[in-house]
A and B are shown apart, each in its own frame.
Chain A
Amino acid sequence: MKSLSILWNVFVRDFRKQSGRMTLTIVGLLWGTISIMLLLSFGEGLYQQMSINSKGMGEGFSVIWGGRTNKEFKGLPRGRRIWFLANDLPYFQAKLPDAKLVTGEMMRWGQRISYKDKFLSQMVDGLYPEYESLRALYPQMGGRFINKKDLELKRRVVFLGNEVKDDLMPDVENPIGETIFINSVPFTVVGIMEPKRQTNSYASRDSRNVFIPLTTYQTMWNEPYFDNLILAVDKKDYARMEEFTDRLNLAAAQKYKYDPEDKVLGIWDTIESQEMMDNILLGLKYFLGFVGFMTLAIAGVGVANIMFVSVKERTREIGVKMAMGARRSTIQLQFITEALFITFMGGGIGISLIYCLTEAFKMVPLDIPALDMMGRPTVSLIDGLIVVCILVAMGTLAGYFPSRKASSVSPVESLRYE
């Protein structure tokens, strides 16, 4: 306890006496910390934004398109069209009971959508209620997505992409319940999609789509075939997606009699592309982190250098103090405390500064399209912790080794030091 108070008194006194040098070191470290945190926060912001963007389509599923056979199979000719019917779904569901969902949708491009005197040409998508969470088609307040009842009763209800709503009925404050026309057939608006960032799509972007119940769609266009199937799996099965699509292909090959090795179906595994995207982003983040680390390392070398130089300058001082009865441990601890204090000050101020800055930046409502892609700089807790750890390690090393060297010789030697 006593030696602690001695240490504290010596530290405070010397620190006040040599505040110029200390301040310089702190500023150097502050600079390094700000640089690395800036880089890391940009990386983190980009990473988060891109993750959100790439998940805008929903996640955890494969899109499967029908196609034509390329080989003859059991006497059947090549070039046969393999398309799926609405009543194929129970068959696939039975073959893939462990899948989260097997469903399908139908779509038609360039349909005439009108409201009062306005009209647009848009894609109409006939689908099931499950698409809401599957494809992240969430309604804005006051509205809803297409539900089971709509499907059963083949109701003429429509769920609009938010951009379609903006173009079609820009001044309508409450569009729910309004009637719009699809090819002159009246439909009641039940919901408007909550705006979302979406970088991937397999048809048109959801904000520009017009969604209606699949059954209504079928009666309208007398359409038996799906445009595509969707095979969704649970999170725990993400890694096994390929196995699921293989099984679906096998089931389809059995039912429609084609060689399962014949690449008839078009399959887009969004999990795989998601992973690829994640890896690219992670790589980018690591790269930025690496650049930042190098920056910090330079700052660290600076701190170590200043500590080292100061120990040389202060070797005589250490000699004097030891001649006056300072214990070795007190001297070493003083230097370590100094180095730690400096790194904590520089690092702490730097990290807090960047944190405040990024938080403040998030509050400012900026409507710059680049931000939709780039995201906004974000300080992540882990990044901050890592930086703090590196700084602390650096501080301890920079303080410990030079002072140990200077205090391990006899006081006479330190006093004679020129």
Chain B
Amino acid sequence: MIRMSNVSKVYHTGSITFEALRDVNIEIKEREYCAVVGPSGSGKSTLMNIIGCLDDSSTGEYYLRGQKVANMTQNQLADIRNKTIGFVFQSFNLLPYATAEENVEVPLLFAGQSRKLRLERCRFLLERVGLADKMKNRPTEMSGGEMQRVAVARALANDPPLILADEPTGNLDTRTGGAIVDLFNELHDEGRTIIMITHDPNIAAQLPRQIYMQDGALVDRLRAAS
């Protein structure tokens, strides 16, 4: 599904350059379920954004489903973000003026789905994440857990094979966080590839595979644990 070789990301802030990712080599297969762990600032989000085609790498090569991302046009990238990848953010990133239903509708809208299909799909997904009674609520009228469930429903809108979650439980308490993780487990059981950043060692330990990061580089588990 994902193959990266020698991917680096360099940020330039004024005259200072900072290497947020160094020579990352990674392969993630179809239907894998990975946790990305590492200290704050280690480059987890940077990596995730590149995987999600929300950002581009400075050097190195990234293949998504065998296709070289660097060669894709803006429209191809947009379509990949729309149909292949479902992204869940730590800070939800819902549209503040729109209701839960309308937020879930966004990817469907850009996929050009008919109104009837959009409404059906929104209802189905919100029911699935347990928010059937909150369809007309705006983000300001929902709890953090509810907002994150809306975000998960939105990520599922176009039924993408790859789900990327950047600390989906970071802003939630353990119990609501657990419910979200249960949701991801279900999604994995359905056959999706899932990559999830988390700070919670308990959650990370539950997943089949862990990816450890330190100072922008991938490290093996033993060194990171020490």
| A90-98, A195-203, A210-218, A313-321: which lies at the interface | A313-321
- Cross-chain contact A410 with B55 (CB below 8 angstroms): yes
Partner of B109, one of A6, A18, A415: A6
- Cross-chain contact A17 with B97 (CB below 8 angstroms): yes
Partner of B55, one of A10, A316, A321, A412: A412
Q: How many residues of A contact B (CB 8 A)?
A: 28
- Cross-chain contact B93 with A325 (CB below 8 angstroms): no
Residues of A within 8 A of B106 (CB): 320-321, 324
For the complex, would chain A's binding face be called helix, strand, loop or mixed by DSSP majority?
helix
| A126-134, A263-271, A326-334, A357-365: which lies at the interface | A326-334
Residues of A within 8 A of B207 (CB): none
Q: How many residues of B contact A (CB 8 A)?
A: 31
Residues of A within 8 A of B107 (CB): 324-325
Query: Within 8 Å of chain A (Cβ to Cβ): is B59?
Result: no
Q: How does the 8 Å CB contact mask read for B155-171 relative to A, with 1 for contact and 0 for none?
A: 00010000000000000
Give the residue among A327, A410, A415 with the most B Cβ atoms within 10 A. A327
**Chain A stretch 388-418: residues in CB contact (< 8 A) with chain B:** 410-413, 415
Query: Within 8 Å of chain B (Cβ to Cβ): is A2?
Result: yes
Closest to B84 in A: A325
Q: Given the complex of chains A and B, what is the CA–CA distance between A10 and B82 in angstroms?
A: 15
Query: Within 8 Å of chain B (Cβ to Cβ): is A322?
Result: yes
Partner of A415, one of B75, B82, B93: B93
Query: Within 8 Å of chain B (Cβ to Cβ): is A13?
Result: yes
**Chain B stretch 30-81: residues in CB contact (< 8 A) with chain A:** 49, 52, 54-56, 74-75, 78-81
Q: B197 to chain A: closest CB distance in Å? A: 14
Query: Within 8 Å of chain A (Cβ to Cβ): is B154?
Result: yes
Query: Within 8 Å of chain A (Cβ to Cβ): is B146?
Result: no
Partner of B93, one of A6, A319, A329: A319
Query: Within 8 Å of chain B (Cβ to Cβ): is A323?
Result: yes
Residues of B within 8 A of A328 (CB): 74-75, 78
Q: A364 to chain B: closest CB distance in Å? A: 46
Q: A319 to chain B: closest CB distance in Å? A: 7
Closest to A326 in B: B110
- Cross-chain contact B109 with A13 (CB below 8 angstroms): yes
Q: How does the 8 Å CB contact mask read for B90-107 relative to A, with 1 for contact and 0 for none?
A: 000111011000100111
Residues of B within 8 A of A321 (CB): 106, 110
Residues of B within 8 A of A326 (CB): 78, 82, 110
Closest to B74 in A: A328
Partner of B87, one of A6, A317, A323: A323
- Cross-chain contact B75 with A327 (CB below 8 angstroms): yes
Q: A18-B97, A410-B54, A410-B56 are in contact. Are A327 and B110 (CB under 8 A)?
A: yes
Query: Within 8 Å of chain A (Cβ to Cβ): is B112?
Result: yes
Q: A319-B93, A412-B54 are in contact. Are A327 and B78 (CB under 8 A)?
A: yes
| Subset of 19 A-B contacts with CB under 8 Å | A5-B112, A9-B109, A10-B110, A13-B105, A17-B98, A18-B97, A319-B93, A321-B106, A322-B78, A323-B87, A325-B79, A325-B83, A327-B78, A327-B110, A410-B56, A411-B54, A411-B55, A411-B81, A415-B54
Further 6 A-B residue pairs, CB within 8 A, beyond A10-B110, A322-B78, A323-B81: A6-B109, A13-B109, A17-B97, A325-B158, A328-B78, A415-B89
